[in-house]
């Protein structure tokens, strides 16, 4: 009879026995078993080439200090395939794009997600040091797989968009957490991939969608608009123009119709003016002046009062841009036309996350635009 104490276990079994148990943590945890309240192209969309998600420690309950995070995963958007925005290009990868040089960095942060400045490296955001955890020539077909449309959109997709860390794991110290994606050396212009996301509103919150799949700006692939809309009393309507010329004046117009403008049918082609490919998609009734920054981005934020009269209210928006790329002699162009629809109830839930995003070929830029109370749904793999 062989005593158990004298049995020589194979080395592979010893290694398995000593290896720390692997676990996962979904952020935000409330969406582990249900789809998020929104969708996003960040960090996988056209020109969305630098994107940092700031996660409040309240979303990390069950992930104690000293845990080593070894992988981050995302899932494809499942819940809004009926929306105009998501049916425009719900899943698109241009094979000609090839591979992109991709980097992921992580950091612990001591600053609240509600008190950020839109600069990745600013010490005011409470980051003492960044850790590079993933760096590779990214095969988009592998890392962003094509998934069949869901049979039941009420069920979330699997976390199949995976980034196993190939540089080193990251040690969480028990404070807030930051995850930054950074595509560089090649512009990510033709890659659009909608992932599951959350924003500061319940599932019946508002939307900002293209008016129609073809209500696109000019010149082609430029002067794009992204935005979010809350329930009344749940925050701001946030609109972001990107892909515009740097440091130029712009005007964000609001209107009540997408079919008529002073008796003129819409959309109205501006080809007769020499602006081929440009269209007016709404009645340009109420203008708000702004200016793009050094990266061709302009933002506008409008608070929505907690008034039940605004429930399900909608309006339209389009930006006019000082832009010589269509016709240098005229010097202006038009953005995408979008429909803004507020949510169907008063109030919000708190999404303890925020993002800083950069676009338009500025992967090495230090400034993006800040969106509070939103972010992608993600799964962290830890030991």
Show me where the domains of the chain are located. Answer: 20-200+349-383, 203-348
CB distance 358 to 46 below 8 Å: no
User: Rounded distance, CA 202 to CA 370, Å?
Assistant: 21
Alpha-carbon distance of 94 to 197, in angstroms, equals 23
pLDDT at 142 over 60: yes
DSSP state of 159: -
pTM strictly above 0.75: no
Q: Quick one: pLDDT at residue 78?
A: 64
341, 342, 322: which is closest to 333 by C-alpha? 322
Q: What is the DSSP letter of 77?
A: -
- Token pair, residue 151, equals 């049979």
pLDDT, tens digit, 9 for 90 and up, residues 176-203: 999 999 876 555 555 667 788 888 654 4
Residue 72, helix vs strand vs coil: strand
Q: Which of 252, 249, 255, 259 is nearest to 238 (CA)?
A: 252
Q: How far apart are alpha carbons 16 and 69 in whole angstroms?
A: 19
Residue 275 predicted with pLDDT over 70: yes
Number of neighbouring beta carbons within 10 Å of residue 26: 19
What are the phi and psi torsion angles at 325 (to 5°)?
-75, -25
| Three-state helix/strand/coil letters over 231-261 | CCCCEEEEEEEECCCCCCEEEEEEECCCCEE
Cα angle, residue 379 at apex, residues 373 and 383 outer, rounded to 5°: 125
Helix (H, G, I), strand (E, B) or coil at 332: strand
Q: What DSSP element (H or E) covers 209?
A: strand 207-210
Asked if 187 and 361 count as a contact pair (C-beta separation under 8 A), the reply is: yes
CATH of 203-348, one of 3.40.50.10860, 2.60.40.380, 3.40.50.720, 2.30.42.10: 2.60.40.380
How does residue 235 score in pLDDT terms, banded at 50, 70 and 90?
A: confident
Summarised one tens digit per residue, pLDDT across range 44-81 is 776 667 899 999 999 998 887 788 999 999 988 765 44
């Amino acid at each position: 009879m062989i005593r158990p104490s004298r049995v020589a276990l194979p080395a592979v079994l010893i290694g398995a026995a000593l290896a720390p148990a692997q676990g996962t943590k979904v952020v935000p945890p409330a969406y582990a078993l249900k789809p998020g309240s929104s969708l996003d192209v960040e960090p996988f969309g056209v020109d969305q080439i630098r994107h940092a998600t700031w996660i409040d420690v309240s979303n990390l309950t069950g992930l104690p200090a000293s845990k080593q995070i070894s992988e981050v995963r995302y899932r494809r958007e499942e819940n809004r395939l009926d929306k105009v925005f998501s049916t425009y290009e719900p899943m698109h990868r241009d094979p000609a794009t090839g591979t992109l040089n991709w980097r992921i960095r992580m950091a612990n942060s001591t600053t609240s997600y509600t008190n950020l400045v839109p600069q990745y490296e600013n010490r005011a955001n409470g980051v003492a040091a960044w850790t590079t955890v993933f760096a590779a020539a990214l095969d988009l077909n592998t890392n962003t797989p094509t998934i069949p449309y869901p049979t039941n959109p009420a069920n979330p997709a699997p976390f199949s968009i995976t980034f196993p860390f190939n540089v080193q794991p990251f040690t969480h110290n028990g404070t807030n957490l930051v995850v930054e994606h950074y595509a560089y050396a090649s512009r990510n212009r033709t890659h659009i991939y909608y992932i599951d996301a959350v924003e500061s509103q319940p599932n019946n919150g508002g939307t900002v969608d293209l008016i129609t799949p073809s209500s696109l700006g000019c010149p082609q692939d430029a002067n794009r608009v992204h935005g979010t809309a809350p329930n009344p009393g749940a925050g701001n309507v946030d609109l972001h123009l990107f892909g515009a010329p740097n440091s130029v004046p712009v005007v964000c117009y609001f209107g009540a119709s997408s079919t008529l403008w002073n008796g003129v049918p819409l959309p109205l082609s501006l080809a007769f003016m020499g602006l081929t490919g440009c269209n007016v998609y709404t009645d340009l009734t109420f203008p708000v002046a702004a200016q793009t920054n050094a990266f061709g981005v302009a933002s506008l934020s409008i608070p929505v009062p907690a008034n039940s009269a605004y429930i399900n209210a909608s309006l339209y928006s389009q930006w006019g841009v000082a832009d010589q790329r269509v016709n240098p002699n005229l010097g202006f162009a038009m953005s995408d036309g979008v429909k803004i629809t507020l949510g169907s109830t008063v109030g919000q839930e708190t999404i303890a996350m925020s993002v800083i995003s950069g676009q338009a070929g500025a992967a090495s830029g230090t400034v993006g635009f800040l969106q509070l109370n939103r972010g992608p749904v993600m799964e962290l793999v830890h030991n």
